[in-house]
Structure 1
């Protein structure tokens, strides 16, 4: 995925070299865009980075789906989840049995600043119930 995806809860942007930066909240409903993004990166690189440092909430179903995507990779390919400790991914990955997946790696980093790069806070949880859901997917041409 060399374009981007956005809806009321999640923004996915390509990283400069390879991988994706996610901001906001990642829910079960984001499985489609995540699958397309990881599949696109898998055609370009062995090290697929998902930068989750801008993610405030990652649902269990979204985490399970990322683990499923990692299981489908063929070594030496692997999925790297870069996240801040507040998401408790190391604990959650272990509790859910995903720590045995050889193609799934976790890199913990410092949490992002409170505001986004544009100086606008990402949407808060529950926005979806109060607004009509829309999504935008743009690809490079």
Structure 2
């Protein structure tokens, strides 16, 4: 059986599975201020999901898998969005630099991410192995679900 990588599975299902894995492991260091922070300057409210830090960490790990050498500056552009200015035209606004930095530091604490000598951060071999293993679990769950649906 050929091995399954992160590129082979649905990104939404993968991020949910990795987020659940990070929460279940209990090793990810979550800052105390996660329940009172906005994720960007252009956001009006804090996130509705209580586990948003795990989801952001999973999404960041997936992005580092696909494209290594990404730093905090790139992450704030990825998680930026449209700032609405009332009757004035909308403009792009970057995401929170502190949130991006703390997520990368938390992933470094798990030994999933390391600093790249060329700048930015990249996945460690252990982190890549973990992500591929979770992608395999997602793919096998999808395969079982498809076989059950075809049997009906």
TM-score, normalization: structure 1?
0.31
- Computing the radius of gyration from Cα coordinates, the structure with the larger value is 2
**TM-score in terms of structure 2 length:** 0.30
More strand by share: 1
